[in-house]
Amino acid sequence: MKNRHIPQNIRLLPLVIGFSAMLLVAKIVDVSLGSGFFTQEFLVSELHAKVSEDSAPTQDIKKAAPTDAAATPAASATDANLNEGGEKSPQLVSTNAVSNGASSINSPLSQQAPQEQPTIDVKLLQSLADRRKQLEDREKNLLLKETLLASTEERVDQRIKTLEQLKTQVDDLLKQYNEKEDAKIRSLVKIYENMKPKDAAKIFDQMDMPILLQVVDKMKEAKAAPILAKMSPQRAKDLTIDLALQKKLPDTIQ
């Protein structure tokens, strides 16, 4: 009976090896194409189905020889799991290879997303934190500039008010001065109008031209004409020219 059992195992071994090679080629094609058709569950179920079909004649032989199978149960279990050289049977080797290959292919894909997701979240949060800090710094700079601008505007307004006050004071002083000077000139005008033209003409010939212009300008024409007639011709000529220019001076300034 032992001689009949050995040829059956030898005949089953090439079938298992051939089917394992087919599964390996199919798995390589599936991985290269990325279709995902040959998953771990599909390959394992197909492998068990094929092994069950091929091991059916072996079970019939064992039923025909119960004495031999009962005498050596440990040997049958050992033959099922180990070959003659002490290695695992091709059935278990191919099954483990398919399981390990499927798990090795699926594990990087399943572990890659959870590892990358925290990194992306940390980078996003860091970017948002940096952007928020930039906005806060910019807001602080704007507030500082606004404060400085408001302080500068306040100082400028205060300076303008001070200058306006000084201008008012200067205008008042000039007005008072002009009033006093005008009062003096009018007093002189009255004096020279009441003098004789001959005596007034002698004084006018020796008087400085700016003062003479102010006095004659304030005098009445009827009082100034006799005095000019008694003055020296050159002095009267210069006085007339300066009076004419003085009348045009305001228009020229405007």
pLDDT along the chain (254 residues), means of 10: 50 79 80 58 55 52 43 42 45 47 47 58 87 92 93 93 94 92 89 90 91 89 90 90 76 45
pTM of the predicted structure, to 2 decimals: 0.37
Q: Quickly list DSSP for the chain.
A: -HHHHHHHHHHHHHHHHHHHHHHHHHHHHHHHHT---S-HHHHHHHHHHHHHHHTHHHHHHHHH-HHHHHH-HHHHHHHHHB-TTSPBPHHHHHHHHHHHHHHHHHHHHHHHHHHHHHHHHHHHHHHHHHHHHHHHHHHHHHHHHHHHHHHHHHHHHHHHHHHHHHHHHHHHHHHHHHHHHHHHHHHHHHHHHHS-HHHHHHHHHHS-HHHHHHHHHHS-HHHHHHHHHHS-HHHHHHHHHHHHHHHHHHHHH-
Chain centroid to CA 26: how far? Answer: 54
For residue 90, the model assigns a pLDDT of 45
